[in-house]
Structure 1
């Protein structure tokens, strides 16, 4: 990519020829989720990696000397990727994706796709200007248990209510790092876990717009390092953040985001949605629960999204009708299979013009709901601050 004009890739997106991919962002997600799966997938060839951190670049270059490893997406013009997989910190998502799309490079963008409705507008303009497709990460939809829930929910009649919850025993990511700094993350558990939960609604309810949104947030655990995500302790990015003078490990500072959000939303059609997302709690296990109540029955899924170690033993799906509850068989699959399953679908999605603009259309109600939940939480805090002590 150059600043002088767009790069038209013209590369393959369907058929048997591998899609040439640049991975943008070499933090935990880029190195632990996307690089390994792209390298092992027969439909993709990783040709470039991008990160401003020289240490991260050196680590990846050491693994693959033939890889083009650069500091900025402006340097991708020489390799002309067919697709950029963007997994940078949240506050850079829209900027990086906008630059790539405008230059004619298709983008697969990790969640959250954007941090505001204004950013969604910018991405829509860039997608049209570059005449390429933006695809959004939707890992939860590609889980076998969630897919089975969608199949069961199709037989529940009109859906009246959905409960969505993802509650971790402990799992504040990158505690004291960018994840817990609002200016860089855009928010806490709502943006991180809540985005995944809200993203599961589209296959259930279609493109939803909410008529009413109310929510509250709390930060009881975020400043206590004991509640940090243990599976990220080995991450070099995390370790670097903990190094003090002369490499001495130091206690991490707390953040300014919420570790828990609770919300209640009502669609324009009158369907209600209860939402809870928590990075930490007093539970013994991480649990994700989706409950769908319809006129012909109720389906309940309990499982664990993500990579946390305090998991449910296995996923469980039940259907209840007229007082009778029946278990639904679910296949067992390795943790993280949903990310590989997304990659399986990407070539066809890139080749299909119908996907142009679809990601932004689905993102708009999600980011609008998140903005309104935060507005509601702020209004509650402001109101409570006006109440005299003792009342």
Structure 2
């Protein structure tokens, strides 16, 4: 008979990020997990956003009022879902409490904050993983296998898109101070992470342009809403990324991500969120998008919890999160310099 598994104590810290609800739903009924949540920064959120104890009650999750209370509970791991600019403080507190950390992306809004998070987790001997669920899609696994087997030959370049609706329901996403930027900060990191895993190389040159043509008349949106980023990798691969909030508010789905990779041996394109059944409901007035396939959040959490139990290094780890943040920082520097080519810090 298999010995019973001691449940892991997992704390979800903050409900700022839209994935917090998904993580809670996936964790609360697992027999191998004890769940606790906290969202003290709810006090600074707009009154029309459901946060704090009300959000926890809606999702059937145990709740405490402060991060300190959650960490005094002695969690084995925490999931940081705070506003991007607050990731550092929450992650450092978790590391000091001896908890392994899964942190929402981007890892931070400043490179030096991400470096501090990585250093703190290393010093405490705890894992730091960056929440990039697309890494766990079967489509990406197939693409990665083709690249690693040599079937695509030498990778020459790639074109990525990560387009979505302008974030709603969480106003901080369009606040440059709390989010660290707009569509560029929100979307480039996902594609950059996939390329980081595929190529195993540092980005050596970045050029970017952005604008606020989309949603420019919305006073709530104070960050860039459209962008195009060009990235050169050490081996010579050239990549372009469309990172816009260009999906209409009335669209049937939030958006999607695609990646086309071209090598000397061929071209492959993946669309991890494309599997769906569509149509119209409500008498034909409302478009419907019924996605199917793997739950990428579930696959990512399974990997993280497995690493917590075994001590294995997660992928993508904090170092991957730092490398992708450096690409974003270089893109933002390029935008500020009028589209100049910038070499990411290393």
- What's the TM-score, normalizing by structure 2? 0.81
Aligned partner of residue 113 in structure 1, secondary structure: coil
For the 8 Å contact 2:166–2:247, the answer to whether it is kept is: no
Q: Tell me how far apart the structure 2 counterparts of residues 66 and 344 of structure 1 sit (CA, whole Å).
A: 19
1:20 corresponds in structure 2 to 9
Q: Tell me how far apart the structure 2 counterparts of residues 15 and 149 of structure 1 sit (CA, whole Å).
A: 37
2:122 corresponds in structure 1 to 128
Q: Tell me how far apart the structure 2 counterparts of residues 340 and 358 of structure 1 sit (CA, whole Å).
A: 15
Q: Tell me how far apart the structure 2 counterparts of residues 357 and 153 of structure 1 sit (CA, whole Å).
A: 18
Query: What does 1:123-202 correspond to in 2, within 5 Å?
Result: 123-154=117-148, 155-168=151-164, 171-174=165-168, 177-202=171-196
2:80 paired residue among 86, 93, 107: 86
1:36 paired residue among 11, 17, 25: 25
Q: Which range moves more in the overlay, 41-50 or 288-297?
A: 41-50
For the 8 Å contact 1:210–1:268, the answer to whether it is kept is: yes
CA 109–15 in structure 1, closer or farther in 2 if over 3 Å, else same? farther
The reply on whether 1:69 has 2:69 as its aligned counterpart is: no
Q: Tell me how far apart the structure 1 counterparts of residues 217 and 315 of structure 2 sit (CA, whole Å).
A: 41
For the 8 Å contact 2:135–2:194, the answer to whether it is kept is: yes
How many angstroms does 1:290 deviate by? 0.7
CA 84–310 in structure 1, closer or farther in 2 if over 3 Å, else same? farther
2:260 corresponds in structure 1 to 291
CA displacement, residues 328-364 of structure 1 (integer Å, 9 cap, x when unaligned) = xxxx515xx0000111112221244452897232123
How many angstroms does 1:281 deviate by? 5.4
Structure 1: 5+ residue stretches without partners:
1-13, 226-252, 315-331, 383-391
2:203 paired residue among 210, 217, 221: 210
1:235 corresponds in structure 2 to none
Aligned partner of residue 380 in structure 1, secondary structure: coil
Q: Which range moves more in the overlay, 354-363 or 139-148?
A: 354-363
The reply on whether 1:350 has 2:346 as its aligned counterpart is: no
1:272 corresponds in structure 2 to 238
For the 8 Å contact 1:26–1:51, the answer to whether it is kept is: no
Query: What does 1:282-321 correspond to in 2, within 5 Å?
Result: 286-304=255-273
CA displacement, residues 25-64 of structure 1 (integer Å, 9 cap, x when unaligned) = 1235254221111113343221343433367333145458
Q: Tell me how far apart the structure 1 counterparts of residues 60 and 289 of structure 2 sit (CA, whole Å).
A: 40
Q: Tell me how far apart the structure 2 counterparts of residues 101 and 186 of structure 1 sit (CA, whole Å).
A: 23
2:293 corresponds in structure 1 to 333
Q: Which range moves more in the overlay, 50-59 or 22-31?
A: 50-59
For the 8 Å contact 1:304–1:312, the answer to whether it is kept is: no
- Kindly tell me the number of residue pairs found equivalent between the two proteins: 318
2:220 corresponds in structure 1 to 254
- What's the TM-score, normalizing by structure 1? 0.72
2:331 corresponds in structure 1 to 373
Q: Tell me how far apart the structure 2 counterparts of residues 68 and 32 of structure 1 sit (CA, whole Å).
A: 13
CA displacement, residues 37-96 of structure 1 (integer Å, 9 cap, x when unaligned) = 11133432213434333673331454588824223x122344111111110111111121
